[in-house]
Amino acid sequence: MQGTAESKLATLPNIKTALPGPVAQQVVAHDAQFISPSYTRPYPLVVKRAKGAMIEDVDGNLFLDFNAGVAVCSTGHAHPHVVEAIKKQVDDFIHICSADYYFPQLSQLAEKLSQLAPGAHDKKVHFGNSGAEAVEGAVKLAMYSTRRQKLIAFFGAFHGRTMGALSLTASKFKQRAGFGPQALDVTHIPYANCYRCPYNLTPESCGAQESKGPHCARIIEDLLFKTTVPAEECAAIVIEPIQGEGGYVVPPASFLQTIREIADRHGILVIADEVQSGFGRTGKMYASEHFDFVPDILTSAKGIASGLPLSATIARADLMNWSPGAHASTFGGNPVAIAASLATLELLEDGLIENAAKMGAYLLEGLTALMDKHSIIGDVRGKGLMIGIELVKDRQTKEPHAEAQHQVELECFQLGLITLGCGQSTIRLSPPLVIDKDQCDFAIKTIDDAISAVAK
Ligand SMILES: Cc1ncc(COP(=O)(O)O)c(C=O)c1O
């Protein structure tokens, strides 16, 4: 599964130099001279090549990748089946502009995506290049088809950085600072974070276990529609079924279901942003399935083409009835990315989704056990291979431990494990779906060692 015979890398880390090594230092210095400083590099990983779940850096150090290019390389780096599909497509033709001309694989992939997205209804697909573009498409479609303009989104949400998507994003102030007023009319409310309930309620006291649904969802009808958001002007509620950049937060199913019910009562559309949680990552094709949640529009990107830029806005066929020219892009649905996506789907359906569920459960158990040893672990949560470890200064007060998050991330890097923070103080694990048990054991031990070093 993890590479052709001649290009195989070992499957566990091997750090040979002090990090960053001498070549990596040169690259980082050159990069600082020419690359936008708005990029957020947590540590100096400088890649030379990568196969499966392994990355070799420019100094010959070998890392285990538990980030996958931020949840993108779903089938592992350079999976031979994906590489073969890409090479074949490059030989045939590289680009044709899907918005103006036809090629068979475009609608073949769209048909597959329509079948795999939640809900038995007919669907249609618009292809873009990035997660933000898929979100832009979803919001434009919602506004176009409802002729309404207001949107509801959630604190902690990340939907991208283009001006429309940025209006929905409410993850970190740095992403907003300096960019003026919101381009879209979005009202944000707290997400269902039961570990830190924004209303100081519990699942037992908030209504989550009753038919009325949790307070954090009901507030849309009880407060928003009575004050700032007239329901008849609201086009859509935009939600991540599992919050990603906001901290890998898993809501109770009743939160999503209550939102669905409220939206239905008022003719409002529900957009599920599955850019990070989709494509097998959570042990199901889409995270929505864990919650019996059926959105009207779903956005998919990141893992969809194993690393080539592709995104999809998948909508109810009766909604996606906009006129020619209303929305399109030159590169969206590029043939090489479409080929990579078709190959990715074959691998996911051939066992990788199952592996994500299995390895995810194994990891979750091993990481949860670390809570007995390390009091700075406040919470371990996730579905499949979308796992967050939230670090706190004190389990009672739950004060986020942002410094520890950064230090653990750095320590893991030094030990050969690639992770990335998310939320205020969460270590995010989003490895390729090809990882095996030995790699999970290495990750658990390394996180254990890293926390021991940081918490001492
Ligand atoms: C849920 C979600 N939506 C949208 C985006 C934006 O995707 P991109 O960076 O490809 O524009 C991201 C990226 O992290 C995401 O996690």
**In sequence order, what DSSP letters do the residues of 342-367 get, joined into one string?**
HHHHHHIIIIIHHHHHHHHHHHHHHH
CB 248 less than 6 A from any atom of ligand 1: no
Going by pLDDT thresholds of 50, 70 and 90, the confidence category of residue 3 is very low
CB 168 less than 6 A from any atom of ligand 1: no
pLDDT in tens, 312-345: 999 999 999 999 999 999 999 999 999 999 999 9
Give the pLDDT confidence score for residue 267 in this predicted structure. 98
For β-strands 377-383 and 47-51, DSSP reports them as unpaired
243 Cα: distance to centroid of ligand 1 (angstroms)? 11
Please state the pTM of the whole predicted model.
0.97
Counting atoms of ligand 1 from 1, which one is nearest the CA of 276?
16
CB 171 less than 6 A from any atom of ligand 1: no
Q: Write out the two tokens for 445.
A: 């031990």
Alpha-carbon gap, residue 266 to 262, rounded angstroms: 7
Break the chain into its structural domains and give their ranges: 5-78+351-455, 83-347
What one-letter code names the amino acid at 15?
I
Mutate to test the pocket of ligand 1, among 302, 310, 311, 386 (most ligand atoms within 8 A of CB): 302
pLDDT in tens, 209-238: 999 999 999 999 999 999 999 999 999 999
Mutate to test the pocket of ligand 1, among 136, 158, 243, 274 (most ligand atoms within 8 A of CB): 158
Q: DSSP strand E in 80-225: where?
A: 123-128, 150-154, 186-189
CB 276 less than 6 A from any atom of ligand 1: yes
Percent of the chain with pLDDT over 90: 97
Counting atoms of ligand 1 from 1, which one is nearest the CA of 161?
11
How confident is the model over 248-259, as a mean pLDDT?
A: 98
139 Cα: distance to centroid of ligand 1 (angstroms)? 14
Q: Could you tell me if 61 and 17 are in contact, meaning their C-beta atoms sit under 8 angstroms apart? A: yes
Record: fold of 83-347: Aspartate Aminotransferase; domain 2 (3.40.640)
Q: What are phi and psi of 329, to 5 degrees?
A: -150, 155
Whether pLDDT at 387 is above 50: yes
Query: In degrees, to the nearest 5, what angle opens at C-alpha 41 toward C-alphas 155 and 169?
Result: 20
Q: Could you tell me if 311 and 134 are in contact, meaning their C-beta atoms sit under 8 angstroms apart? A: yes
Is the domain defined by 5-78+351-455 classed in CATH 3.40.47.10?
no
How confident is the model over 9-34, as a mean pLDDT?
A: 97
Mutate to test the pocket of ligand 1, among 136, 159, 282 (most ligand atoms within 8 A of CB): 159
DSSP 3-state of 389: strand
DSSP one-letter code for 67: S
CB 273 less than 6 A from any atom of ligand 1: yes
CB 429 less than 6 A from any atom of ligand 1: no
140 Cα: distance to centroid of ligand 1 (angstroms)? 17
pLDDT in tens, 274-315: 999 999 999 999 999 999 999 999 999 999 999 999 999 999
Whether pLDDT at 5 is above 70: no
